[in-house]
Amino acid sequence: MVMSAIQTVKTPTNAGANVQQTIALVDDDRNILTSITMALEAEGFAVRTYTDGEEGLKGITSHTPDLVVLDIKMPRMDGMEVLSKLREQSALPVIFLTSKDDEVDEVIGLRMGADDYITKPFSQRLLIERIRALLRREALRHQAVSNTKTEESSITTRGNLVLDDARHVCTWKGREVDLTVTEYLLLKALAIRPGHVKNRDQLIDMAYGENIYVDDRTIDSHIKRIRKKFRAIDNEFSQIETLYGVGYKYKEE
Protein backbone atom coordinates (compact mmCIF):
# COMPACT_ATOMS: atom_id res chain seq x y z
CA MET A 1 0.00 0.00 0.00
CA VAL A 2 1.26 3.48 -0.76
CA MET A 3 1.74 5.31 2.55
CA SER A 4 2.00 8.83 1.16
CA ALA A 5 1.11 10.51 -2.09
CA ILE A 6 3.62 12.29 -4.29
CA GLN A 7 3.21 14.34 -7.41
CA THR A 8 5.54 13.86 -10.31
CA VAL A 9 5.47 16.34 -13.15
CA LYS A 10 6.87 15.08 -16.43
CA THR A 11 7.73 17.76 -18.98
CA PRO A 12 8.39 16.73 -22.58
CA THR A 13 11.02 18.55 -24.60
CA ASN A 14 8.36 20.51 -26.51
CA ALA A 15 6.87 21.99 -23.33
CA GLY A 16 6.72 25.42 -24.89
CA ALA A 17 4.56 24.28 -27.77
CA ASN A 18 1.07 25.70 -27.79
CA VAL A 19 -0.42 22.41 -28.94
CA GLN A 20 0.82 20.42 -25.94
CA GLN A 21 -1.94 19.08 -23.72
CA THR A 22 -1.69 17.92 -20.13
CA ILE A 23 -3.02 14.64 -18.79
CA ALA A 24 -3.45 13.99 -15.05
CA LEU A 25 -2.98 10.35 -14.00
CA VAL A 26 -4.31 9.30 -10.58
CA ASP A 27 -3.53 5.71 -9.54
CA ASP A 28 -1.87 4.09 -6.52
CA ASP A 29 -0.05 1.57 -8.75
CA ARG A 30 3.32 3.14 -9.54
CA ASN A 31 4.01 0.64 -12.33
CA ILE A 32 0.85 1.77 -14.14
CA LEU A 33 1.76 5.43 -13.60
CA THR A 34 5.24 4.89 -15.02
CA SER A 35 4.18 2.89 -18.08
CA ILE A 36 1.28 5.19 -19.01
CA THR A 37 3.42 8.29 -18.46
CA MET A 38 6.09 6.96 -20.84
CA ALA A 39 3.49 6.11 -23.48
CA LEU A 40 1.79 9.52 -23.24
CA GLU A 41 5.05 11.46 -23.28
CA ALA A 42 6.04 9.56 -26.42
CA GLU A 43 2.83 10.94 -27.97
CA GLY A 44 3.75 14.51 -27.01
CA PHE A 45 1.58 14.97 -23.92
CA ALA A 46 2.65 16.57 -20.67
CA VAL A 47 1.83 14.31 -17.73
CA ARG A 48 1.17 14.91 -14.04
CA THR A 49 0.91 11.84 -11.81
CA TYR A 50 -0.65 11.38 -8.36
CA THR A 51 -0.63 8.24 -6.24
CA ASP A 52 -3.86 8.75 -4.31
CA GLY A 53 -7.19 10.51 -4.74
CA GLU A 54 -6.68 13.26 -2.15
CA GLU A 55 -3.44 14.50 -3.68
CA GLY A 56 -4.89 14.02 -7.15
CA LEU A 57 -7.88 16.23 -6.37
CA LYS A 58 -5.64 18.95 -4.95
CA GLY A 59 -3.35 18.84 -7.96
CA ILE A 60 -6.16 18.81 -10.52
CA THR A 61 -8.00 21.74 -8.94
CA SER A 62 -4.85 23.86 -8.54
CA HIS A 63 -3.34 23.02 -11.95
CA THR A 64 -6.22 22.10 -14.26
CA PRO A 65 -5.22 19.52 -16.89
CA ASP A 66 -6.93 18.90 -20.23
CA LEU A 67 -8.08 15.41 -19.19
CA VAL A 68 -7.98 13.11 -16.14
CA VAL A 69 -7.33 9.35 -16.09
CA LEU A 70 -8.62 8.18 -12.72
CA ASP A 71 -8.39 4.85 -10.90
CA ILE A 72 -11.40 3.83 -8.79
CA LYS A 73 -9.74 1.87 -5.96
CA MET A 74 -7.25 4.11 -4.13
CA PRO A 75 -6.24 4.94 -0.54
CA ARG A 76 -7.31 8.10 1.34
CA MET A 77 -9.90 9.09 -1.30
CA ASP A 78 -11.25 6.75 -3.99
CA GLY A 79 -11.95 7.67 -7.59
CA MET A 80 -15.70 7.98 -7.03
CA GLU A 81 -15.24 10.72 -4.44
CA VAL A 82 -12.67 12.51 -6.58
CA LEU A 83 -15.07 12.48 -9.54
CA SER A 84 -17.96 13.68 -7.39
CA LYS A 85 -15.96 16.67 -6.15
CA LEU A 86 -14.67 17.47 -9.64
CA ARG A 87 -18.19 17.45 -11.08
CA GLU A 88 -19.28 20.06 -8.53
CA GLN A 89 -17.12 22.59 -10.35
CA SER A 90 -16.02 21.25 -13.72
CA ALA A 91 -16.99 19.25 -16.80
CA LEU A 92 -13.34 18.24 -17.25
CA PRO A 93 -13.11 15.00 -19.31
CA VAL A 94 -12.52 11.97 -17.07
CA ILE A 95 -11.66 8.38 -17.99
CA PHE A 96 -12.00 5.74 -15.25
CA LEU A 97 -9.60 2.82 -14.84
CA THR A 98 -11.38 -0.20 -13.36
CA SER A 99 -10.68 -3.87 -12.67
CA LYS A 100 -12.66 -6.75 -14.16
CA ASP A 101 -14.58 -7.14 -10.87
CA ASP A 102 -15.72 -3.51 -10.75
CA GLU A 103 -18.75 -3.63 -13.07
CA VAL A 104 -20.98 -1.94 -10.50
CA ASP A 105 -18.41 0.80 -9.96
CA GLU A 106 -18.13 1.34 -13.72
CA VAL A 107 -21.87 1.96 -14.01
CA ILE A 108 -21.97 4.20 -10.94
CA GLY A 109 -18.98 6.14 -12.20
CA LEU A 110 -20.59 6.79 -15.56
CA ARG A 111 -23.80 7.88 -13.87
CA MET A 112 -21.78 10.32 -11.79
CA GLY A 113 -20.36 11.93 -14.91
CA ALA A 114 -17.29 10.01 -16.09
CA ASP A 115 -16.91 10.27 -19.85
CA ASP A 116 -15.45 6.81 -20.41
CA TYR A 117 -13.87 3.84 -18.66
CA ILE A 118 -11.22 1.23 -19.47
CA THR A 119 -10.90 -2.14 -17.77
CA LYS A 120 -7.54 -3.36 -16.45
CA PRO A 121 -5.46 -4.87 -17.93
CA PHE A 122 -5.73 -2.61 -20.96
CA SER A 123 -3.88 -1.70 -24.12
CA GLN A 124 -1.93 1.55 -23.84
CA ARG A 125 -2.79 2.25 -27.48
CA LEU A 126 -6.51 1.92 -26.71
CA LEU A 127 -6.17 4.32 -23.77
CA ILE A 128 -4.35 6.86 -25.95
CA GLU A 129 -7.04 6.65 -28.64
CA ARG A 130 -9.79 7.15 -26.05
CA ILE A 131 -7.90 10.16 -24.68
CA ARG A 132 -7.50 11.66 -28.16
CA ALA A 133 -11.20 11.16 -28.93
CA LEU A 134 -12.28 13.01 -25.78
CA LEU A 135 -9.75 15.81 -26.35
CA ARG A 136 -10.98 16.29 -29.92
CA ARG A 137 -14.53 16.80 -28.67
CA GLU A 138 -13.33 19.25 -26.03
CA ALA A 139 -11.39 21.18 -28.66
CA LEU A 140 -14.49 21.44 -30.86
CA ARG A 141 -16.52 22.71 -27.92
CA HIS A 142 -13.97 25.39 -27.03
CA GLN A 143 -13.65 26.41 -30.66
CA ALA A 144 -17.40 26.86 -30.87
CA VAL A 145 -17.39 29.03 -27.75
CA SER A 146 -14.56 31.20 -29.07
CA ASN A 147 -16.40 31.77 -32.35
CA THR A 148 -19.62 33.05 -30.81
CA LYS A 149 -18.63 36.69 -31.34
CA THR A 150 -18.13 36.27 -35.07
CA GLU A 151 -20.53 33.50 -36.01
CA GLU A 152 -24.23 32.92 -35.45
CA SER A 153 -25.00 30.31 -32.84
CA SER A 154 -26.26 26.95 -34.06
CA ILE A 155 -29.38 26.44 -31.98
CA THR A 156 -31.62 23.38 -31.95
CA THR A 157 -35.07 23.85 -30.40
CA ARG A 158 -37.41 20.96 -29.63
CA GLY A 159 -40.35 22.23 -27.61
CA ASN A 160 -38.98 23.04 -24.14
CA LEU A 161 -35.49 21.86 -25.09
CA VAL A 162 -32.91 24.29 -26.48
CA LEU A 163 -29.40 23.20 -27.50
CA ASP A 164 -26.89 25.95 -28.27
CA ASP A 165 -23.85 24.34 -29.91
CA ALA A 166 -21.74 27.49 -30.02
CA ARG A 167 -21.95 27.98 -26.26
CA HIS A 168 -22.41 24.27 -25.43
CA VAL A 169 -25.49 25.21 -23.40
CA CYS A 170 -28.58 23.06 -22.89
CA THR A 171 -31.76 24.48 -21.37
CA TRP A 172 -35.07 22.86 -20.46
CA LYS A 173 -38.05 25.13 -19.82
CA GLY A 174 -35.65 28.04 -19.62
CA ARG A 175 -33.39 26.45 -16.99
CA GLU A 176 -29.84 25.37 -17.80
CA VAL A 177 -28.95 21.67 -17.60
CA ASP A 178 -25.26 21.07 -16.91
CA LEU A 179 -24.19 18.34 -19.36
CA THR A 180 -20.77 16.91 -20.08
CA VAL A 181 -19.55 16.94 -23.69
CA THR A 182 -20.53 13.30 -24.17
CA GLU A 183 -23.97 13.79 -22.64
CA TYR A 184 -24.59 16.85 -24.83
CA LEU A 185 -23.63 14.98 -28.00
CA LEU A 186 -25.85 12.01 -27.12
CA LEU A 187 -28.83 14.22 -26.35
CA LYS A 188 -28.38 16.16 -29.58
CA ALA A 189 -28.11 12.92 -31.58
CA LEU A 190 -31.56 11.96 -30.29
CA ALA A 191 -33.21 15.40 -30.34
CA ILE A 192 -32.10 16.32 -33.84
CA ARG A 193 -34.66 13.85 -35.25
CA PRO A 194 -37.53 13.39 -32.78
CA GLY A 195 -39.42 10.13 -33.10
CA HIS A 196 -36.55 8.38 -34.91
CA VAL A 197 -34.97 5.49 -33.04
CA LYS A 198 -31.19 5.44 -32.63
CA ASN A 199 -29.60 2.15 -31.66
CA ARG A 200 -26.62 2.04 -29.30
CA ASP A 201 -24.07 1.59 -32.10
CA GLN A 202 -25.34 4.73 -33.84
CA LEU A 203 -25.16 6.69 -30.61
CA ILE A 204 -21.63 5.43 -29.94
CA ASP A 205 -20.53 6.60 -33.41
CA MET A 206 -22.13 10.02 -32.93
CA ALA A 207 -20.68 10.61 -29.47
CA TYR A 208 -17.34 8.80 -29.65
CA GLY A 209 -16.47 8.43 -33.32
CA GLU A 210 -16.45 5.38 -35.54
CA ASN A 211 -12.98 4.14 -34.57
CA ILE A 212 -13.50 4.01 -30.81
CA TYR A 213 -14.86 0.91 -29.06
CA VAL A 214 -17.32 1.62 -26.24
CA ASP A 215 -19.43 -0.95 -24.42
CA ASP A 216 -23.22 -0.68 -24.77
CA ARG A 217 -23.49 -0.19 -21.00
CA THR A 218 -21.61 3.08 -21.37
CA ILE A 219 -24.41 4.55 -23.50
CA ASP A 220 -27.08 3.24 -21.13
CA SER A 221 -25.34 4.84 -18.16
CA HIS A 222 -24.96 8.18 -19.94
CA ILE A 223 -28.67 8.18 -20.86
CA LYS A 224 -29.64 7.45 -17.24
CA ARG A 225 -27.49 10.33 -16.05
CA ILE A 226 -28.99 12.71 -18.65
CA ARG A 227 -32.49 11.79 -17.45
CA LYS A 228 -31.47 12.32 -13.84
CA LYS A 229 -30.15 15.80 -14.60
CA PHE A 230 -33.34 16.81 -16.39
CA ARG A 231 -35.56 15.36 -13.65
CA ALA A 232 -33.66 17.37 -11.06
CA ILE A 233 -35.20 20.38 -12.84
CA ASP A 234 -38.48 18.80 -13.95
CA ASN A 235 -39.49 15.52 -12.31
CA GLU A 236 -41.99 14.90 -15.11
CA PHE A 237 -39.32 14.88 -17.83
CA SER A 238 -39.93 11.86 -20.08
CA GLN A 239 -38.72 12.92 -23.51
CA ILE A 240 -36.04 10.23 -23.87
CA GLU A 241 -37.76 6.92 -24.45
CA THR A 242 -36.20 3.47 -24.24
CA LEU A 243 -37.16 0.85 -26.81
CA TYR A 244 -35.92 -2.30 -25.12
CA GLY A 245 -33.67 -4.37 -27.35
CA VAL A 246 -33.59 -1.60 -29.95
CA GLY A 247 -32.30 1.72 -28.63
CA TYR A 248 -33.54 5.19 -27.71
CA LYS A 249 -35.58 8.00 -29.23
CA TYR A 250 -36.53 11.55 -28.38
CA LYS A 251 -40.28 11.91 -28.04
CA GLU A 252 -41.98 14.22 -30.50
CA GLU A 253 -43.89 17.15 -28.95
Q: pTM of the entire structure? A: 0.57
Domain boundaries in the chain? 7-142, 151-250
Is the pLDDT score of 18 beyond 80?
no
Which has the minimum average pLDDT: 62-66, 101-105, 162-166?
101-105
Query: CA 151, 155, 161: angle at the middle one, nearest 5?
Result: 160
For the domain made up of 151-250, the CATH class stated in words is: mainly alpha
Please choose, from the candidates 133, 122, 115, the residue with its C-alpha nearest in 3D space to the C-alpha of residue 212. 133
Q: Helix 103-112 vs helix 79-87: angle between axes, to the nearest 10 degrees?
A: 10
Task: For residues 155 and 170, give the distance between their C-alpha atoms in angstroms, rounded to a whole number.
Answer: 10
For strands 161-164 and 155-158, give the pairing.
Answer: antiparallel
Mean pLDDT calculated for residue range 171-180: 92
What kind of fold does domain 7-142 have according to CATH?
A: Rossmann fold (3.40.50)
Q: Of residues 149 and 185, which shows the higher confidence score?
A: 185
| CB of 150 closer than 8 Å to CB of 186 | no
Task: Determine the 3-state secondary structure of 8 from DSSP.
Answer: strand
